[in-house]
Structure 1
């Protein structure tokens, strides 16, 4: 495919997938040290698929705290989320996907559910909010600093077992949860009042 005139990390977020980057299947991946869904790497070729994160770049962004906009490392004090939501550890454990969090994280602990999106530099966040039509149209944008403590959990998919046995778990994306210092003893009542648990 033809190389785009758009610059990766400037005009198009570094983490974005491009049409030249086909899914290749499940294979061992160093980014997670396990089986993972893999994808070709040809950023900047074809057309950007703004609604799709590249599988490897997404995992690296969370593992290494790389800004999804520019691809450079973020530092303590300059990590910002745009669409993450405040909720409770207990709510994440009880949601449909049943996120597995360490036992030492109390149910009442207020957490920042960032989903699959690593925090950005403040400058990159400001730039993307000015130019990205998807963010401009998103009513849930809420720029906030990301906590200094966080957890990473894998989003697993079943992969065909070549030996014919049970499907094997493979990592698709990595999910990120920021852990705050705040406890909310009233979280159960608040969650019951907000069935979708959109905010803490």
Structure 2
């Protein structure tokens, strides 16, 4: 076991070197839909800071859990440094159109958090001060996360591992990560 503390030294959502991909199967993090799985051994091996654990990432987005400490966030305590302002039209152009309401105007401002759920303010401030990746970012501003959001499933094409010679094998979509898109009720300044 590592001497590093999850939630302080290592983000709760980070993968560890012993947490290997296990294949594709129904996953409770996405209501039983097929998803890519990963073994659960947080604290064993070396932390892989730049790699989110597949299940914990999906859980953090679905349950609005802080990716740093793993605890649920409250509506008035959700902050992000990594999210970027964009528009519905820009997200549609990047392929996220199926997840956006069809009647949403292309010029609607949205806060694209990517695969990173918002953090508690105290966790976000600590991460910003201690994480080399966040320190290297041009934008150091912590942005309040909107009270409404859209979750988009990011998927890969998966093929069965053991094909039967006379049975056609069809690829299936398997969820990897969830993308989080904040929908503000006012235009950002």
Maintained 8 Å contact 1:156/1:172: yes
- What SS does the corresponding residue of 2:6 show, helix, strand or coil? coil
Q: Which residue of 1 aligns with 2:39?
A: 40
Q: Which residue of 1 aligns with 2:138?
A: 139
Q: Runs of 5+ in structure 2 lacking a partner?
A: none
- What SS does the corresponding residue of 2:170 show, helix, strand or coil? coil
Deviation at 1:174, TM superposition (A): 0.3
Output the TM-score relative to the length of structure 2. Answer: 0.91
Q: Which residue of 1 aligns with 2:9?
A: 11
Matched, 1:130 2:121: no
Report runs of 4+ in structure 1 exceeding 6 Å deviation.
none
Q: Which residue of 2 aligns with 1:191?
A: none
Query: Relative to structure 1, is the Cα distance of residues 142 and 164 closer, same or farther in structure 2, using a 3 angstrom cutoff?
Result: farther
Deviation at 1:183, TM superposition (A): 6.0
For 1:95-133, what per-residue CA distance to the aligned partner results, in whole angstroms no more than 9, with x for missing partners?
A: 2x3442121322121000000000000000011111111
Q: Which residue of 1 aligns with 2:173?
A: 169
Aligned counterparts, 1:1-200, within 5 A: 3-32=1-30, 33-95=32-94, 97-100=95-98, 101-161=100-160, 164-182=168-186
Aligned residues: 182
- What SS does the corresponding residue of 1:68 show, helix, strand or coil? coil
- What SS does the corresponding residue of 2:64 show, helix, strand or coil? coil
